[in-house]
Amino acid sequence: MTAEPVIDAQPLPPAAEPPSVRASLSPSRAADFKTCPLLYRFRSIDRLPERPTVEQARGTLVHAVLERLFDLPAAARTPRSAGDLVSPQWDRLVAEQPELATLFAEGDATAQADFLRSAASLLEGYFAVEDPRRLEPAEREALISAVVDGELLIRGYLDRLDVAPDGALRVVDYKTGGAPREAFEARALFQLKFYALVLWRTRGVVPRVLRLLYLKDAEVCDYAPDAEELLRFERTVVALWQAIEQATARQDFRPRPSRLCDWCSHQARCPSFGGTPPPFPVAGGGDPLTDARSRPAAPGADE
Ligand code: SF4
């Protein structure tokens, strides 16, 4: 399948935070709470470190290549050009995040070469579903945000925003994970609706299409939201935030085991797996409701 051509439009205006903003929430962190309140606590309140996985690193790398691919003139956006970007982008990522180098045993050039090849193979999946020579994205890896309910800032990085000549918006999200799709599809759609809500609230336009590109399977999943649905979704997000506030006040974040536990880094501390969570952090200098727990995940980091 080849996507229809989409022409560039006005870049998104920078979003200012009104003084009434009291808290912020990203789709990744909101989805964490929905998936498992204890996972939310571990990631956002305890801020327990998570060692990057090869799969997450591959996702970050492929996202970086696809972002840079659109820096090239349209005619040059070929599979070979994308392949040529893999190694330099990996070097750049490792320079910025040295912990990525620890994914491979020192001197194990074979493992790293296999890793780079697997990223190139996902890019082949991309070219099977889209022709980037026919696209001029309006935004790539853009941080977008909006205030809902008068005081909650919702924000996140979208992979790509296409704007058609008639102003229609298409939000595109690249999925590179190798995990069974059904385990993550609801989370992916939640994330896309989050972006759709932000765009609707900031631009007054409901995106025409929310598109998931599954690179491993070379498949496209399109979803068309409507205003009524986004209104309901907005209420859901606000209710979710209120539930997070209540759980924080009670210091009560319960585990909710599911298939996603297989991908959780915190099983050793999870009561559902015989572990014990650390003591609830004492509020420090900053306001716990506006701190880093709502920091949006970088593109590709949430695969
Ligand atoms: S292992 Fe499962 S239940 Fe426990 S914190 Fe992780 S996702 Fe939640």
41 lines ligand 1 (CB under 6 A): no
In this structure, what token pair is assigned to residue 209?
């299409």
pLDDT of residue 20: 72
pLDDT, tens digit, 9 for 90 and up, residues 83-136: 999 999 999 999 999 889 888 887 678 888 999 999 999 999 999 999 999 999
Q: Which atom of ligand 1 is nearest to the CA of 42?
A: 5
178 CA to middle of ligand 1, Å? 20
Q: Which atom of ligand 1 is nearest to the CA of 265?
A: 6
303 CA to middle of ligand 1, Å? 17
267 lines ligand 1 (CB under 6 A): yes
> DSSP string of 126-163?
HHHH--GGGB--SEEEEEEEEEETTTEEEEEEEEEEEE
pTM: 0.83
In this structure, what token pair is assigned to residue 33?
């709470």
In this structure, what token pair is assigned to residue 215?
């690179």
pLDDT of residue 185: 79
User: Residue 167: CA atoms inside 13 Å, Cβ hemisphere, count?
Assistant: 6
Q: 104, 109, 110: which is closest to 54 by C-alpha?
A: 104
Q: Which atom of ligand 1 is nearest to the CA of 258?
A: 2
Q: pLDDT at residue 177 above 80?
A: no
pLDDT, tens digit, 9 for 90 and up, residues 105-118: 876 788 889 999 99
pLDDT of residue 16: 54
Q: pLDDT at residue 39 above 90?
A: yes
Residue type, position 131, single letter: D
Instruction: Indicate the top mutation candidate among 256, 259, 263, 265 to test ligand 1's pocket, ranked by most ligand atoms within 8 A of CB.
Output: 256
In this structure, what token pair is assigned to residue 204?
């007054």
**Residues 160, 139 contacting (CB under 8 angstroms):** yes
Residue 23: φ, ψ to 5°: -160, 165
